[in-house]
């Protein structure tokens, strides 16, 4: 398979096409955007973040000195009305954003005000000392006040909005759950060399780009896989060897910031074609859209995280009829699945992309198919249908070996 001239011709054709599009997009960038793109992420200078914190605290003390109750105000990210969408850019904050207000003189928000102030103090000290801590470490500094890890996570997000600073510049890191394998090498902040091609199970994706310095690769494409089970199955089938040189990444479900930062860095630095494989259900489609268009919660940061040129290879809901899969393999929707399907159809990036909208509507019909059910996946049925052999997971062969899909309407 990896010697197929047609396959590599299609991949290289797409790569050249994407490079042209990338160069055109760079010409439209502002100087600030260009600086962000060169590094693969937005890096605020440490002193800039410190000044922002000092400005917030100064404003708070001035309000107190004038006899007024201090207030923290930041964009409200809970509603889709607070964001807008544009193809090629992704989800970004709306021009007329609604604000959330956390007041010191309100019984409903005084505790939150105090917690945000405490977190600002910790972040200030971390940045001054150029140190980092995890969200988990931060939670255990005062767990009795926070009550839950989710409360702390939301507070850190609110502080990032208050400071108008990407979360990765606050020196508070979330544990990254993604893995990467294949032709990729980099150095950690401590100078450790990491070669992703030598691992049998994948290398953990670092939580911050400081630990992915001096990246090098000879890869010609990147495959993103929704689930770790599929990722491990493909590694066991020697996918990265048979389709070398390539890179394979999984976010193990809904992607975290570290995994999305890695993919955006690979795009910014190497303009590699990227293809994604997800389940044929609303949750799979949502995950694909987060990689490609961004999320509502990270509206202010999406332009440093999304890869709008990513291609959705499958499994497309429209593929299922042609695969002759026995009905026993399909899984009935739960209420959660139905709610997700209904909500997904109305999202701005779905409405703006008719091919994706078609797939989303078909995926909402009440049954889902997960491509890595080891005890149920009809590999023989798929292989017979595709006539592609047993050496690699049949579904991946279908979407990668059908070479015309790479540069035509087969990929979305």
What residues are labeled active site?
A: 140
Q: Which helix (H) or strand (E) holds 240?
A: helix 239-242
Q: How many CB atoms lie within 10 A of CB 136?
A: 13
CB 248 within 8 A of CB 222: yes
Can you tell me the distance from the alpha carbon of 396 to that of 314, in angstroms, rounded to the nearest whole number?
A: 8
Can you tell me the distance from the alpha carbon of 155 to that of 302, in angstroms, rounded to the nearest whole number?
A: 19
* Tokens 């604000």 found at: 99
Taking alpha carbons only, the member of 287, 223, 219 closest to residue 252 is 287
CB 239 within 8 A of CB 197: no
* Tokens 């980099």 found at: 186
Can you tell me the distance from the alpha carbon of 226 to that of 205, in angstroms, rounded to the nearest whole number?
A: 15
* Tokens 């630990």 found at: 211
Can you tell me the distance from the alpha carbon of 170 to that of 193, in angstroms, rounded to the nearest whole number?
A: 26
Task: Tell me the DSSP string of 93-147.
Answer: E-TT--EEEEETT-TTTHHHHHHHHHHHHHHHHHHHHT--EEHHHHHTTSHHHH-
Strands 133-134 and 222-225: unpaired
- Across 313-344, b (16+ Cβ under 10 Å) vs e yields bbbbbebbeebebeeebbeebeeebeebbeeb
Strand spans (E) along 31-82: 71-75
């Amino acid at each position: 398979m990896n010697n197929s001239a047609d396959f590599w011709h299609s991949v290289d054709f797409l790569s050249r096409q994407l490079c042209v599009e990338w160069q055109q997009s760079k010409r439209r960038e502002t100087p600030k955007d260009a600086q962000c793109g060169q590094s693969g992420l937005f890096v605020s200078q440490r002193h800039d973040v410190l000044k922002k914190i000092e400005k917030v605290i100064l404003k708070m003390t001035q309000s107190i000195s004038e006899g007024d109750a201090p207030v923290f105000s930041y964009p409200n990210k809970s509603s889709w009305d607070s964001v807008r969408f544009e193809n090629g850019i992704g989800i970004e904050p709306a021009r007329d954003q609604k604000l959330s207000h956390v007041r010191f003189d309100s019984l409903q928000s005084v505790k939150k005000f105090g917690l945000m102030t405490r977190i600002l103090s910790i972040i200030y000290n971390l940045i001054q000392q150029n140190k980092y801590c995890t969200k988990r470490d931060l939670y255990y500094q005062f767990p009795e006040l926070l009550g839950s890890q989710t409360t702390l996570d939301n507070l850190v997000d609110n502080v990032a909005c208050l400071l108008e600073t990407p979360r990765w510049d606050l020196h508070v890191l979330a544990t990254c759950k993604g893995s990467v394998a294949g032709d990729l090498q980099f150095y950690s902040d401590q100078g450790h060399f990491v070669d992703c091609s030598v691992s049998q199970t994948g290398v953990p994706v670092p939580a911050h780009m400081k630990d992915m310095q001096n990246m090098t690769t000879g890869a010609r494409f990147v495959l993103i896989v929704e689930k770790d089970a599929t990722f491990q199955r493909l590694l066991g089938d020697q996918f990265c060897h048979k389709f070398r040189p390539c890179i394979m990444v999984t976010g193990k479900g809904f992607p975290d910031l570290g995994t999305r930062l890695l993919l955006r860095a690979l795009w910014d630095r190497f303009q590699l074609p990227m293809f994604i494989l997800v389940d044929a259900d609303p949750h799979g489609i949502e995950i694909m859209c987060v990689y490609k268009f961004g999320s509502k919660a990270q509206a202010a940061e999406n332009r440093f995280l999304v890869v709008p040129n990513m291609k959705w290879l499958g499994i497309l809901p429209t593929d299922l009829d042609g695969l002759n899969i026995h009905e026993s393999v399909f899984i009935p929707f739960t209420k959660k699945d139905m709610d997700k399907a209904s909500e997904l159809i109305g999202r701005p990036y779905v409405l703006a992309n008719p091919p994706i909208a078609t797939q989303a509507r078909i995926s909402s019909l009440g049954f889902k198919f997960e491509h890595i059910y080891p005890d149920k996946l009809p590999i023989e049925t798929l292989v017979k249908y595709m006539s592609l052999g047993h050496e690699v997971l049949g579904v991946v062969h279908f979407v990668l070996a059908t070479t015309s899909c790479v540069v035509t309407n087969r990929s979305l």
